[in-house]
Structure 1
Amino acid sequence: MTESRAIMPAQLPAAPAERTVYSYGVLRGSTLHISGMVAFDSDANIVGEGDIEAQVEQVMQNLTAVVEEAGGTIDDVVSTTTYLVDVADAPVVSAARARHFTGEVLPTHTVVGVAALARPQFLVEIQAIAEIG
C-alpha cells in the first residue's frame, strides 16, 4: 500500500491548517494533492487585501512552497483549479500563470466563479495537483 505524507512548508502558517484540520499538501506515491492556496504570509496575515494582483502572486508563492517541500518544482504541477470571487479577475490569474508556469507542458486550468471564499478578504484560491519525480 502506498503511504501518504503530509506536506507542511515552514513558510506557510501552521495555525490555519491546524484549526481547520487539513494539510497544505498530501504526497501519495508521486502524486501531490495541494489544498487551495490563499494569500497568507508565514504569520497568517492576509497579503494584498483588496489587491488581486498581490493576492495571486502570494498564492503562487505558497503553491510553489508546497511543491518544493515535497521535492518538486513548479513545473511538476499538472492541474490547477482557480476559485475567483470576481471572474473578471481571470486575466490577472492568467498573467501570473504565464510568469510562474514556464515549462514545456503547461498545467490544465479550470476557473470557477464563487460567491465567497473562507474569509471575505480572500479574492482568489488556487488548488493544484502535481506529479513529483
Structure 2
Amino acid sequence: MGEYRLDRLGEQIRDEISRLILGAKIKDPRVSTFLSITRVEVSGDLGYAKVYISSFLEPSETKKGIKGLESAAGFIQGVLGKKLKIRQFPKLTFVFDESIREGFEMVRKIDSLEKSSETGENSPE
C-alpha cells in the first residue's frame, strides 16, 4: 500500500479513537478524556498499527490509561472496523509518548528565560 494511503489511514484511525475517548464510549475507568493520540503508524501490510498516546497527566496516570486502552482494544477495533470498512483491519498496539509533556516543559523553560531576561538578571552590562 502506498505511503500516502497508510498515512491517511493512520489519520482516520487517530480521529476515530479520539472520538471514542472524548465521547466516553470506552467504559474502562482508567481511560481519561485527557489522553491524546499524537500519531498512528500503520505497517505496510496493514497487519499492525502503533497508536502513540500522550497526556498532560502524570506519566503513571497516562500509563494506566494505556492499560485501559489495551484492554478495550477489541472493542475499539470492532468499532473502527465497521466505520472504516477496510478488508483487513490492523491489530492495535498502544505506546506511551511523552511529546506533549516534553513540549509543555520546553515552553515553560522558554517562558522562564524570557522573564529572567526582562527583569535584567542576564543583562550584558
TM-score of the superposition, structure 2-length normalised?
0.33
- The structure with higher relative contact order (CA 8 Å, sep 6+) is 1
TM-score of the superposition, structure 1-length normalised?
0.31
Bigger share in strand: 1
- Structure 1 or 2, whichever has the larger Rg, is 2
